[in-house]
Amino acid sequence: MAEQVPTKRQKREEYRRGIQAQQETEDGSVVKMPQKKFFRQRAHANPFSDHNLNYPISPAHMDWSSHYPAYVDPDTLKTNLAGARQLTKNVEVVDIGCGFGGLLVGLAPLLPDTLMVGMEIRTQVLEYLTSRIHALRTQQQNLKNKAAKPTSTEAPESTEQPTEMDTSDDKAPVPATDDDIGTTKIFPGNFENITAIRANTMKFLPNFFGRHQLSKIFVCFPDPHFKARKHKARIISESLNAEYAYALRPGGLLYTITDVEEYHHWVLRHFQRQPEDAEKTEGEAVHAPGIKDIWERVSDEDLAADPCVRVMQFETEESKKVTRNNGKKFVAVFRRLADPEWSSS
Amino acid sequence: MPSLQHPFQCLRYVARESAGQSDLLIATAGAKVYSYSASTGECLDVFPSAYELAVSDDLKSPPGKRRKLSSPEQKDEQSESADKGSKEEVKLTWSNIPLLIVAKSKYVIFLTAEDKCVRVYSLSGNGQFVKESVRTMPKRPSVLALTPDENDILCADKFGDVYIIPVIPSSEYKRTVAEEKEYTPSATNLTVHTRRNLESLEQQKRQAALKKKASVETTALNFEHQAIIGHVSMLTDMVSVTRPADSSISHPRSYILTADRDEHIRVSRGHPQAHVIEQYCFGHTSFISKLCIPSWAPDVLVSGGGDKHLLVWNWVGGQVLQKVSLSESETDISVSGIWAVSINDTNNIFVAIEGSSQLLCYTLENDNTLKQQETLQLSGNVIDLVSISSKGSIVVSLDNLREPNSTSVWRSSPQALLETFRVEYGKWIPTEDSVVSKINDKDSTIVEAELDEKTTKSLNEQLYGLSVLRKNPAWD
């Protein structure tokens, strides 16, 4: 009875099979971008449950080679503890809760030589982003091939020249509609420097990245978990900030943006000492040492000069939605300072 | 029907000779804590004492139905009057005491499980318990440890947090009362958009207008405490250790190692710098249940859990030094205990597997690897172990209720609670000890004669709870 009209689920499955098939053929013909509507998923996941996650035993067991094929070390003898080929450089930038990947796609040409990874707990959203990155890379490859063919006398390197980029509008490094990105221009880095993996970073971030490995961590429009009972599930907390400090190198930056004002204050409260903290010790202005000593808020002038902030404010899917709804955006960026001297006790 | 006794769940040996007092053996069984003289085996005191039960409100379960176990600080007039008539039928708010540590050879610190209370009693000269403090933790603690100076308790819980609380709370502590703020929903119509979310936002706003006052935070603790470490996982063990100064470090450095259900061993600095994570020790593929750093080799860590092997670590560098196979069979095993024992120049690591009557024995060699020695066979499942260096022996507590190598089949007749071994030329041999015999002879907590299925099941789970930590691979 109900079989006559395909259900939403059936349509989705069919569509995704098509995308899968497209990826497998790779015949170099026109590559279609995946459509978000077939990959939407409830915006919440329980970070405390086990799920069925794949994560490496340690950072030295992580196989990045399939994620960044352009950066695999040509020396086949260089392998990690899990026997996977090593890369010529380490992953340095992480987008925690990357969603549909707007930030990564926006950042990819800005930091063309930096390896970046998006981490997302929702499988369907991740599947979309993986297809999107694959399509972007294929399109770039096609463009490069096309550019190389008619003027075969030219050196192939010149096709990668970013002159087109520089002339483009300064406010929008990437075209407005996602589907157009990468179809007409060659971008620096060719999106070979971004990837996405499924992970619960609240539990397993240290399984992927070693001590002081990262230079930037992005937390964009995190699940606000409005109920006080659910605040433990928030991605920003003093104990998680200790883990972020472990993964970030001194001088590294942690970017946050949210449209929920209360969450913004929560973020500030968990990274910085508040005036009320001092009152607790009654008169004494001395603070007990804590995680907040390791973080310093980046000034507004510094933020204005940071192109990553602009991408975070205008390129991510959530930020576009907030703009559409006339919502506010609250940005806070923190610099990781050096660890304190060992106490001599 | 013979009366059954609860096995000793935790054993601690308190050496007090330097203070001119006799040594003690402290043990928990069922809902009670016992203090035995280590020279005679005489039972010196029992917690909770009959006197305490009569006067103290916080030991008794409240009458009638209450939705939550109330904190013991809250006096309830009703229960006081109601209990007067039925003094013999006192029911405690807890049924077992899974954690026990001793600070400065003077303070006995233990956890009563169901009411989440960390209780501190000091030991008097003649081995009796003197009440110091009772503190209710926000979540059920899973590990208790001490800071190097033994002035503070480190308390790790099932929610992944480590709190530091003083052994003896200072009397000056004043609860900081958060200013009552007007409650306003943190969502706005700029952040939520769906019809249902907007409806509930409207509802919240109406509620806020009605209430005016925000509800006082219920989780606030009314004693001095500080959260110093947090995992997003259940904490299963914790060790506090100090590395002595040597060629590489000019001052001694203290560390806290925490292990969780998600295969992590985290190395943090000691308090007050516990927010600095120095290292992770990666290598386990199942939950971790036990960490052990021998006092004579503070750079070596032995860890075990749901894997079929132990790992020996250089924990400062996060390197696995050795993988020690425990089992070749298909069935899952869980390490329930790892103890480092140093007696008469023999340095041993003992390992117990949950629900097994064998005690595995290793020596820690000079190259920091474990070498297997002859396994000790006991008459019941191994539960806890203490070493008594003055006698050159170890005392092992056994499951006297269940058949050896079973976690659920009960014996028809009770067995010994404790067994003793002494080392001779590097070999451990069973031995008779008059003190232990005396403790074995004496009935400790007597299990109710009639055991229904539910009671036996919960008793089994109290003693053998590690299997629930294992992840179910099929679930997503």
- Top residue of A281, A343, A344 to mutate, by most chain B CBs within 10 Å, is A343
- Let me know if residue A205 belongs to a domain: yes
Burial class (CB in 10 A: 0-12, 13-18, 19+), A285: exposed
Distance from CA of A260 to the nearest CA of B (A): 6
User: What is the per-residue pLDDT for A45?
Assistant: 81
- A120 and A198 fall within a common domain: yes
What is the rounded CA–CA span in Å between residue B317 and residue A4?
Answer: 63
Of the candidates A60, A242, A343, which has its C-beta nearest B272's C-beta? A343
A120 annotated as a binding-site residue: yes
What is the rounded CA–CA span in Å between residue B300 and residue A280?
Answer: 40
Residues B126, B190 contacting (CB under 8 angstroms): no
- A233 and A315 fall within a common domain: yes
A317 annotated as a binding-site residue: yes
pLDDT one digit per residue (tens) for chain A, 345 residues? 445 677 777 887 888 777 777 776 655 555 677 887 777 777 778 888 877 888 999 999 999 999 999 999 999 999 999 899 999 999 999 999 999 999 999 999 999 999 999 999 999 899 999 999 999 999 898 888 888 776 544 444 444 444 444 433 444 444 445 556 656 788 999 999 999 999 999 999 999 999 999 999 999 999 999 888 888 899 999 999 999 999 999 999 999 999 999 999 999 999 998 876 654 544 455 677 889 999 999 999 999 999 999 999 998 888 898 988 888 999 999 999 999 999 765
Distance from CA of A307 to the nearest CA of B (A): 25
- Vertex B14, ends B10 and B15: CA angle to 5°? 150
Chain B partners of A61 at a C-beta cutoff of 8 Å? 282
Distance from CA of B392 to the nearest CA of A (A): 34
The stretch B11-27 carries a mean pLDDT of: 90
B317 touches chain A (CB under 8 A): no
- Domain enclosing residue A204, as ranges: 90-146+183-277+294-339
A220 annotated as a binding-site residue: yes
What is the rounded CA–CA span in Å between residue A148 and residue A152?
Answer: 6
Of the candidates A51, A246, A344, which has its C-beta nearest B476's C-beta? A51
What is the rounded CA–CA span in Å between residue B268 and residue B23?
Answer: 34
- Let me know if residue A170 belongs to a domain: no
Note whether A226 contacts B277, CB cutoff 8 Å. Answer: no
Of the candidates A47, A48, A263, which has its C-beta nearest B186's C-beta? A263
B285 touches chain A (CB under 8 A): yes
pLDDT at residue B79 greater than cutoff 60: no
**Encoded tokens for A212:** 């002081």
- A83 and A95 fall within a common domain: no
> Do the bridges between strand A214-220 and strand A91-96 make them parallel or antiparallel, or are there none, so unpaired?
parallel
Q: How many CB pairs under 8 A join A and B?
A: 104
Q: Point out the catalytic residue in the list A63, A113, A166, A223.
A: A223
- Let me know if residue A298 belongs to a domain: yes
- In angstroms, what CA-CA distances link A325 with A246, A318, A319, A322, A329? 37, 11, 10, 5, 11
pLDDT at residue B444 greater than cutoff 80: no
Cα dihedral across residues A131, A136, A139, A145: positive or negative: negative
- Top residue of A235, A292, A342 to mutate, by most chain B CBs within 10 Å, is A342
What is the rounded CA–CA span in Å between residue B166 and residue B133?
Answer: 11
Residues A312, A220 contacting (CB under 8 angstroms): yes
A318 annotated as a binding-site residue: yes
Q: What is the pLDDT of residues A302-340, one digit of tens each?
A: 999 999 999 999 988 888 989 888 889 999 999 999 999
B191 touches chain A (CB under 8 A): yes
- A193 and A77 fall within a common domain: no
Note whether A262 contacts B186, CB cutoff 8 Å. Answer: yes
Cα dihedral across residues B96, B102, B107, B109: positive or negative: negative
Note whether B276 contacts A340, CB cutoff 8 Å. Answer: yes
**Encoded tokens for A326:** 């006339």
Q: Which residues contact B84 (CB under 8 A, 6 or more apart)?
A: none
A258 annotated as a binding-site residue: no
- A122 and A257 fall within a common domain: yes
User: What is the per-residue pLDDT for A153?
Assistant: 46
Least Cα distance to B418 among B445, B391, B441 occurs for B441
User: What is the per-residue pLDDT for B117?
Assistant: 94
Distance from CA of A58 to the nearest CA of B (A): 6
The Cβ-side half-sphere exposure at A95, using a 13 Å CA radius, reads 31
Note whether A260 contacts B282, CB cutoff 8 Å. Answer: no
pLDDT at residue B80 greater than cutoff 70: no
Least Cα distance to B298 among B245, B337, B247 occurs for B245
Chain B partners of A340 at a C-beta cutoff of 8 Å? 273, 276
Note whether A239 contacts B277, CB cutoff 8 Å. Answer: no
Least Cα distance to B262 among B229, B281, B234 occurs for B234
- In angstroms, what CA-CA distances link A246 with A42, A93, A163, A210, B269? 31, 14, 39, 8, 12
What is the rounded CA–CA span in Å between residue A15 and residue A40?
Answer: 13
Chain B partners of A243 at a C-beta cutoff of 8 Å? 277
Chain B partners of A57 at a C-beta cutoff of 8 Å? 263, 282-283, 285
- A74 and A118 fall within a common domain: no
A97 annotated as a binding-site residue: yes
B227 touches chain A (CB under 8 A): yes
Q: Which residues contact A193 (CB under 8 A, 6 or more apart)?
A: A68, A70, A71, A108, A111, A112, A113, A114, A115, A116
Residue tagged 């079929």 (tokens): B308
- A216 and A198 fall within a common domain: yes
- A122 and A250 fall within a common domain: yes
User: What is the per-residue pLDDT for B310?
Assistant: 97
Note whether B229 contacts A328, CB cutoff 8 Å. Answer: no
Chain A partners of B176 at a C-beta cutoff of 8 Å? 280
- In angstroms, what CA-CA distances link A219 with A234, A330, B41? 11, 12, 61
| ipTM score over 0.90, yes or no | no
Distance from CA of B445 to the nearest CA of A (A): 38
Q: Which residues pair with B340 in a beta bridge?
A: B349
Q: Where is average pLDDT lowest: A68-72, B315-319, B425-429?
A: B425-429
Q: Which amino acid is at B12?
A: R
Note whether A238 contacts B476, CB cutoff 8 Å. Answer: no
Q: What is the pLDDT of residues B103-149, one digit of tens each?
A: 999 999 999 999 999 999 999 999 999 999 999 999 999 999 999 99
- Let me know if residue A260 belongs to a domain: yes
B273 touches chain A (CB under 8 A): yes
Q: Which residues pair with B387 in a beta bridge?
A: B394
Q: How confident is the model at residue B88 (pLDDT cuts 50, 70, 90)?
A: very low
3-state SS of chain B is CCCEECCEEEEEEECCHHHCCCCEEEEEECCEEEEEECCCCCEEEEECCHHHHHHCHHHECCCCCCCCCCCCCCCCHHHHHHHHCCCCCCCECCCCCCEEEEECCCEEEEEECCCCEEEEEEECCCCCEEEEEEEECCCCEEEEEECCCCCEEEEEECCCEEEEEECCCCCCCCCCCCCCCECCCCCCCCCCCCHHHHHHHHHHHHHHHHHCECCCCCCCCCCCCEEEEECCCCEEEEEEEEECCCCCCCCCEEEEEEEECCCCEEEEECCCCCCCEEEECCCCCCCEEEEECCCCCCCEEEEEECCCEEEEEECCCCEEEEEEECCCCCCCCCEEEEEEEEECCEEEEEEEECCCCEEEEEEECCCCCEEECCCEECCCCEEEEEEECCCCEEEEEECCCECCCCCCCECCCCCCCEEEEEEECCEEEEECCHHHHHHHHCCCCEECCCCCHHHHHHHHHHHCCHHHHCCCCCCC
The Cβ-side half-sphere exposure at B196, using a 13 Å CA radius, reads 0
Domain count, chain A: 2
Higher pLDDT, B80 or B171: B171
- Let me know if residue A319 belongs to a domain: yes
In degrees and rounded to multiples of 5, residue A119 shows phi and psi of -120, 130
User: What is the per-residue pLDDT for A163?
Assistant: 40
Distance from CA of B277 to the nearest CA of A (A): 6
- A75 and A120 fall within a common domain: no
Radius of gyration from C-alpha coordinates of chain A: 22
B7 touches chain A (CB under 8 A): no
What is the rounded CA–CA span in Å between residue B332 and residue B154?
Answer: 31
Cα dihedral across residues B129, B135, B137, B138: positive or negative: positive
User: What is the per-residue pLDDT for A11?
Assistant: 80
Chain A partners of B279 at a C-beta cutoff of 8 Å? 211
- A215 and A254 fall within a common domain: yes
**Encoded tokens for B457:** 């099941």
> Do the bridges between strand A115-120 and strand A91-96 make them parallel or antiparallel, or are there none, so unpaired?
parallel
B230 touches chain A (CB under 8 A): yes
Radius of gyration from C-alpha coordinates of chain B: 24
A18 annotated as a binding-site residue: no
Note whether B280 contacts A58, CB cutoff 8 Å. Answer: yes
Q: Is A223 a catalytic residue?
A: yes
Residue B414 C-alpha from the chain's centroid: 26
**Chain B residue closest in CA terms to A266:** B186
User: What is the per-residue pLDDT for A275?
Assistant: 76
User: What is the per-residue pLDDT for A188?
Assistant: 92
User: What is the per-residue pLDDT for B442?
Assistant: 74
- Total Cβ atoms within 10 A of residue B156: 26
Q: Is the peptide bond before B272 cis (omega within 30 degrees of 0)?
A: yes
Distance from CA of B224 to the nearest CA of A (A): 12
Q: What is the pLDDT of residues B378-410, one digit of tens each?
A: 999 999 999 998 888 999 999 988 999 999 888
Note whether B476 contacts A52, CB cutoff 8 Å. Answer: yes
Residues A247, A209 contacting (CB under 8 angstroms): yes
Distance from CA of A149 to the nearest CA of B (A): 49
Residues B374, B412 contacting (CB under 8 angstroms): no
Q: Which residues contact A316 (CB under 8 A, 6 or more apart)?
A: A99, A102, A103, A106, A220, A221, A257
Note whether A339 contacts B276, CB cutoff 8 Å. Answer: yes
Note whether A202 contacts B160, CB cutoff 8 Å. Answer: no
In degrees and rounded to multiples of 5, residue A238 shows phi and psi of -60, -40
Of the candidates A57, A262, A345, which has its C-beta nearest B283's C-beta? A57
- A103 and A80 fall within a common domain: no
What is the rounded CA–CA span in Å between residue B178 and residue B195?
Answer: 34
Chain A partners of B262 at a C-beta cutoff of 8 Å? 203-204
Note whether A52 contacts B473, CB cutoff 8 Å. Answer: yes
- Let me know if residue A163 belongs to a domain: no
Note whether A325 contacts B263, CB cutoff 8 Å. Answer: no
Higher pLDDT, B179 or B234: B234
- Let me know if residue A17 belongs to a domain: no
Q: Which CATH number covers residue A273?
A: 3.40.50.150
Note whether B188 contacts A261, CB cutoff 8 Å. Answer: yes
- Let me know if residue A125 belongs to a domain: yes
What is the rounded CA–CA span in Å between residue A290 and residue A288?
Answer: 6
State in Å, rounded, how far the first CA of chain A is from the last one: 76
Note whether B230 contacts A239, CB cutoff 8 Å. Answer: yes
User: What is the per-residue pLDDT for B1?
Assistant: 42
Chain A partners of B275 at a C-beta cutoff of 8 Å? 238, 242, 245, 289-291, 294
- A84 and A188 fall within a common domain: no
Q: What is the pLDDT of residues B245-280, one digit of tens each?
A: 888 888 999 999 999 999 999 999 999 999 999 999
